[in-house]
């Protein structure tokens, strides 16, 4: 005799699967496990972050290129919150993007604070990422050697948004094109619009 599995148990299994999917994608990115990272995304996925807009496969290729160019971003991640909508889900977490670099001859560490939002979708009992977005909050440089002065002028930073100013400055200096119109805490309406887009897609309230 078969025993019906309670919905709460099935939901818990899906939440765990989506959580592990998100963590696998981020860990694979940091460790250069490109095939594992690629397998996290659907073919028709959409990634929209500071330096990249496109599908998951191209995002992986771009991340490989970034690593070859010695822009070695790593990520500190907070707990993942998953909200289910049947075969769709939205996962959110806070994160810090750390990038070591040299600016005007001074060794620095960039730390960019953001909220990451992932869309996940189940196909044939397998969860894969449908989308990856970020809401940028703030960022800062710290010098690798305490007490060093980092001589960046106001004019150099003027073109960039407050919520991801230093990240934009650093990436632009490395030859990357940065999207200036992404959601950020300095534009609350953009963050609200992104939440609405993602949660409407999943058919769940926010």
> Which domains, and CATH codes, for the chain?
7-201 (3.10.450.50)
Q: pLDDT tens, 147-166?
A: 999 999 999 999 999 999 99
Closest to 16 in 3D by CA, of 123, 117, 94, 89: 89
Q: What is the rounded CA–CA span in Å between residue 206 and residue 13?
A: 22
């730390």: which residue's tokens?
A: 111
Compute the distance between CA of residue 27 and CA of residue 36 in angstroms, rounded to an integer: 9
- Judge whether 84 and 169 are in contact, CB under 8 Å: no
- Low-confidence residues of the chain, pLDDT below 70? 1-2
Specify the pLDDT at position 4: 85
Q: Say if CB 127 and CB 140 are below 8 A apart.
A: no
- The per-residue pLDDT for 2 is 66
| Model pLDDT, residue 183 | 98
């Amino acid at each position: 005799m078969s025993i019906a599995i309670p919905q709460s148990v099935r939901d818990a299994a899906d939440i765990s699967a989506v959580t592990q999917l998100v963590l696998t994608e981020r860990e694979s990115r940091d460790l250069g496990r490109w095939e594992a990272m690629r397998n996290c995304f659907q073919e028709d996925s959409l990634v929209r972050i500071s330096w990249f807009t496109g599908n998951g496969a191209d995002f992986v290729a771009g991340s490989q290129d970034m690593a070859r160019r010695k822009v070695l971003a790593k990520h500190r991640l907070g707990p993942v919150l998953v909200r289910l909508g049947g075969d769709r889900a939205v996962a959110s977490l806070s994160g810090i993007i750390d990038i070591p670099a040299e600016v005007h001859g001074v060794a620095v560490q960039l730390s960019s604070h953001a909220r990451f939002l992932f869309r996940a979708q189940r196909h044939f009992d397998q969860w894969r990422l449908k989308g990856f977005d970020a809401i940028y909050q703030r960022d800062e440089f710290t010098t690798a050697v305490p007490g060093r002065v980092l001589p960046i002028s106001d004019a150099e930073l003027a073109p960039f948004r407050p919520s991801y100013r230093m990240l934009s400055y650093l990436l632009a200096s490395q030859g990357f094109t940065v999207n200036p119109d992404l959601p950020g805490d300095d534009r609350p309406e953009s963050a609200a619009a992104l939440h609405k887009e993602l949660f409407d897609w999943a058919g769940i309230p926010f």
